[in-house]
Amino acid sequence: MDAFASHYTYWVTVLLMAAGLYIMIARGNLVKKLIGLSIFQTSVYLLYIAPGKLIGGTAPIVSGAFKVYANPLPHVLILTAIVVGIATLALGLAIVVRIREAYGSIEEDEIVAADARDADRA
């Protein structure tokens, strides 16, 4: 029980990761797939950020008054990961917009059906 309570951020991470992965696999709508991808990414951010927090730790500022500080490296890493996540999300949405213009749909099954029709005709 103690191990469960003291590691609750890991449980939240696992929950978010499973939810995001499930949405990506189970949903045919491309925008919903991207939402799942974002949730999955958020779980990874949490996985890195949570151990970086030190209870009672300060910002890493040189001062005689503070002995314990939190390592800023995970936060900087995840700041970069968030920026990369925004860029990949924008790229994914741009591809979805382009798919919608070409197929008139963003449902995966309809796109696959349209591709199959094209292949039959060829």
**Interface with another protein by CB under 8 A: which residues?**
59, 61, 79, 82-83, 86, 90, 93-94, 97, 101
What span, in angstroms and rounded, lies between the C-alpha atoms of 98 and 19? 27
Closest-CA residue to 16 (of 1, 38, 48)? 38
Token duo for residue 9: 């951020």
Least Cβ distance, residue 71 to another protein (angstroms): 14
Least Cβ distance, residue 93 to another protein (angstroms): 7
What span, in angstroms and rounded, lies between the C-alpha atoms of 26 and 30? 11
Least Cβ distance, residue 64 to another protein (angstroms): 16
Judged by beta carbon, residue 19 or residue 46, the one nearer another protein is 46
Least Cβ distance, residue 89 to another protein (angstroms): 9
CA angle 113, 117, 118 (to 5 degrees): 120
Q: Tokens 């189970």 label which residue?
A: 26
Q: Tokens 């974002």 label which residue?
A: 38
Judged by beta carbon, residue 28 or residue 60, the one nearer another protein is 60
Judged by beta carbon, residue 32 or residue 75, the one nearer another protein is 75
Judged by beta carbon, residue 54 or residue 94, the one nearer another protein is 94
